[in-house]
């Protein structure tokens, strides 16, 4: 676990679409929550259920290694990720996020307390 200062330092270095090779370390409730990913940083990564295929059978399994992109990071010390491999990404991602490609490489904005980009998906 990192302290607030270390998390702010890590977060400032992140960019939308920045890629990490990661290992899936947890799939607590397939089809319901999402997956936890170790991307080699002092904080963990997480892929929300809304980024993954509706069919949980298409989700990566624990131990799978895949490439992920930074999707978001807020005030919580966790990096929200998007799968790069289309097999692990929801089929309609491009339709739901047509502006994604334009954001790649941009700095993450300073988070508002509890701000979460996934609320727009619900």
Mean model confidence pLDDT for the chain:
90
Q: Residue 116 — pLDDT band, cuts 50, 70, 90?
A: low
Mean local confidence (pLDDT), 26-34: 90
Identify the CA nearest to 107 among candidates 1, 18, 6, 2: 18
Identify the CA nearest to 10 among candidates 43, 40, 48, 47: 43
- Cβ–Cβ under 8 Å, residues 25 and 37: yes
Q: pLDDT by residue (tens digit) across 42-99?
A: 999 999 999 999 999 999 999 999 999 999 999 899 999 999 999 999 999 999 899 9
Q: Domains in the chain, start-ordered, CATH in brackets?
A: 1-87 (2.40.50.140)
pTM of the model: 0.87
Q: Residue 14 pLDDT > 70, yes or no?
A: yes
């Amino acid at each position: 676990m990192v302290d607030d200062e270390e998390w702010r330092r890590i977060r400032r270095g992140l960019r939308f679409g920045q890629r990490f090779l990661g290992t899936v370390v947890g799939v607590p409730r397939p089809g319901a929550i999402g997956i936890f990913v170790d991307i080699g940083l002092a904080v963990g990564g997480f892929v929300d259920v809304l980024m993954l295929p509706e069919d949980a059978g298409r989700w990566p399994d624990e131990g799978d290694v895949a490439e992920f992109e930074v999707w978001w990071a807020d005030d919580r010390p966790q990096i929200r990720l998007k799968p790069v491999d289309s097999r692990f990404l929801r089929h309609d991602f491009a339709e739901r996020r047509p502006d994604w490609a334009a954001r790649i490489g941009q700095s993450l904005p300073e988070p508002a307390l509890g701000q979460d980009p996934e609320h727009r998906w619900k």
